[in-house]
Amino acid sequence: MVTFLFAIAFLIIGYFIYSKVVERIFGINDQNKTPAYTNSDAIDYTPMPWWKASLIQLLNIAGLGPIFGAVAGALYGPVAFIWIVIGCLFAGAVHDYFSGMLSLRHNGAQFPSLVGRYLGNTMRIIINFVSIVLMILVAAAFTAGPAQLIASLTPLSFTVAIVLIFAYFLVAAVLPVNRVIGRIYPIFGAILIFMAVSIGVALLLTDRSIPNLTFSNLHPGDLPIWPLLMVTISCGAISGFHSTQSPILARTIKRESHGRKVFYGAMVAEGVIALIWAAAGMTFFGGTGGLQEALAAGGPAGVVNEISTTLLGTLGGILAILGVIILPITTGDTALRSSRMMVSELVEKFFKVQGLKGVLIATIPVTLPAFWLSTIDYTFLWRYVGGTNQLVATVMLWTAAMYLLESRKFHWICGIPALFMTAVVSTYFLYAPEGFSLPYELSLAIGGAITLVVAFWYMNKIRKAHKQLANSSSSNAA
């Protein structure tokens, strides 16, 4: 229990200290007019209070990610606490802050456009495709689960539930951001926080003992911690999906100083939620072995439902149903909204996406494949979401590092976590079944070699930047 409480305290204290360090390095200026005013269009660019934007950002980036992912990551034991805290403060929240603030500084630009600006056009083309695929996968994966639950609780069939959910997706993705998202989603964001806090308090008041820190791998299936834990727990630590959601709120922020609360703060809140559910997972069932049996029997939704109803009674059951149905749906629709924005930027050289008709045309190409994918095996989708998600996170961190390097600012706050995630992603794709499925030792060796190559590229970029600065100083002196 001590480890759990220290982890939560560390996250909260870390927010008040490290978020200000990150903000100072980025360099805010509240005299700058934000895109919410300069690009106002009554659809996506609409000023919004920071507290409302923060709750929407939390709901957009979270959904069931910090719940299902944390429960699955709890199979590794208390070492998951370390990853959530360190990953959240020094990688995930930094990632979210820069993805939001760089978008704000570039007129609300989407993630692929930022990549193109700082990593080159070739990378922009690649990441455009990867990001849109990720959005489609997330929308599909976050639809199948709720549809199955709706079908089990109501007379509606799975197919009818899927159709109804996607009809809502289409409406929510094309309406102005302040119509549905701005009015309802702050309430759902508050419910997400209330649900997690209630579970956390109830867990502390039971006679169950939350395990303290051990670096041992407690996974019953003997799966390696590195790099699987870093992919299993993404929401709550670091998630590339967030870089596709932050521009939605970057287009609504009134002042640059609100970015720390909206982007960094929402990520820390998600980290706290992940800590609570990881603790619940590894505690409630008497250890990781019991948790694995519960996951095999009822899946993550069944685990969440059992924990909620046992600890919170009827209220817990209602919250569990709300969570499993509403939270993924709200993430799915913003996934389609951000993919619609990406498609709009992708085709803007050929024609301008304007008005409701143009927005609808840009939304349909991503809605149709997401609808089809939602009808296939749910577990299959998640196998590809994880690796793709962390690949996007790695690219966003490198984008932020190059921005800071170009701006002659302290780039290491993004460069070091970018190198770390490069090692995670390269090793994961070499080892995982959805990748090359190589032996573990060989995956470690090749993944390490790839990371070294990227590190040499990074050092070369730093050397060139210092050389340019020296040449510039010499020219000015002359």
Given a cut of 60, is residue 477 above it in pLDDT?
A: no
Given a cut of 90, is residue 194 above it in pLDDT?
A: no
Given a cut of 60, is residue 350 above it in pLDDT?
A: no
- The rounded percent of the chain whose pLDDT value lies above 90 is 49
* Least confident segment among 7-11, 135-139, 275-279: 135-139
- Domain residues for the domain of 154 are 2-381
The pLDDT score that the predictor gives to residue 383 is 67
Using 50, 70 and 90 to split pLDDT, how confident is the model at 473? low
The pLDDT score that the predictor gives to residue 8 is 96
Given a cut of 90, is residue 289 above it in pLDDT?
A: yes
CA neighbor of 130 nearest in space, from 100, 150, 149, 110: 110
Using 50, 70 and 90 to split pLDDT, how confident is the model at 168? confident
Q: Which residues contact 399 (CB under 8 A, 6 or more apart)?
A: 98, 102, 114, 115, 117, 118, 119
pTM, entire model: 0.90
The arithmetic mean of pLDDT across residues 224-230, rounded, is: 95
Q: What angle do CA 290, 295, 296 make, to 5 degrees?
A: 95
Can you tell me the distance from the alpha carbon of 156 to that of 317, in angstroms, rounded to the nearest whole number?
A: 21
Can you tell me the distance from the alpha carbon of 17 to that of 328, in angstroms, rounded to the nearest whole number?
A: 32
Number of domains within the chain: 1
Strand partners, 253: 48
Q: Could you tell me the CATH number of the domain that includes residue 141?
A: 1.20.1740.10
The pLDDT score that the predictor gives to residue 427 is 97
Query: In whole numbers, what is the pLDDT of the chain averaged over residues?
Result: 87
Using 50, 70 and 90 to split pLDDT, how confident is the model at 7? very high
The pLDDT score that the predictor gives to residue 379 is 59
Can you tell me the distance from the alpha carbon of 322 to that of 251, in angstroms, rounded to the nearest whole number?
A: 28
Q: Quick check: is 468 in a domain?
A: no
Contact, 149 vs 324, CB < 8 A? yes
Can you tell me the distance from the alpha carbon of 221 to that of 292, in angstroms, rounded to the nearest whole number?
A: 9
Q: Quick check: is 39 in a domain?
A: yes
Is 126 or 346 the better-scoring residue by pLDDT?
126
Q: Quick check: is 441 in a domain?
A: no
User: 310: how many CB neighbours lie within 10 A of its CB?
Assistant: 13
Using 50, 70 and 90 to split pLDDT, how confident is the model at 269? very high
Given a cut of 90, is residue 19 above it in pLDDT?
A: yes
Can you tell me the distance from the alpha carbon of 243 to that of 252, in angstroms, rounded to the nearest whole number?
A: 16
Is 17 or 40 the better-scoring residue by pLDDT?
17
The arithmetic mean of pLDDT across residues 39-46, rounded, is: 86
Cis before 433? omega within 30? no
Given a cut of 90, is residue 352 above it in pLDDT?
A: no
The arithmetic mean of pLDDT across residues 68-72, rounded, is: 90
Q: Quick check: is 270 in a domain?
A: yes
Region label for 27, one of left (φ > 0), alpha (ψ between -120 and 50) or beta (otherwise): left
Q: Quick check: is 400 in a domain?
A: no
The arithmetic mean of pLDDT across residues 59-74, rounded, is: 86
Q: Which one-letter DSSP state was computed for residue 108? A: T
Contact, 324 vs 153, CB < 8 A? no
* Least confident segment among 10-14, 197-201, 216-220, 378-382: 378-382
Q: Quick check: is 431 in a domain?
A: no
Virtual torsion, Cα 442, 446, 447, 452, nearest 10 deg: 150
Token couple for 115: 């990549």
Using 50, 70 and 90 to split pLDDT, how confident is the model at 351? low
Given a cut of 90, is residue 364 above it in pLDDT?
A: no
What is the residue-wise DSSP string for 256-309? GGGHIIIIIHHHHHHHHHHHHHHHHHHHHTSSHHHHHHHHHHHHHHHHHHHHHH
The arithmetic mean of pLDDT across residues 215-227, rounded, is: 90
Q: Quick check: is 399 in a domain?
A: no
Model pLDDT for residues 321-340, shown as the tens digit of each residue: 777 777 777 777 777 777 77
Is 168 or 419 the better-scoring residue by pLDDT?
419
Contact, 25 vs 410, CB < 8 A? yes
* Least confident segment among 175-189, 265-279, 350-364, 462-476: 350-364
The arithmetic mean of pLDDT across residues 25-30, rounded, is: 96
Strand partners, 48: 253
Rg (CA), the chain: 22
191, containing H or E segment: helix 181-205
The arithmetic mean of pLDDT across residues 37-44, rounded, is: 87
Q: Quick check: is 115 in a domain?
A: yes
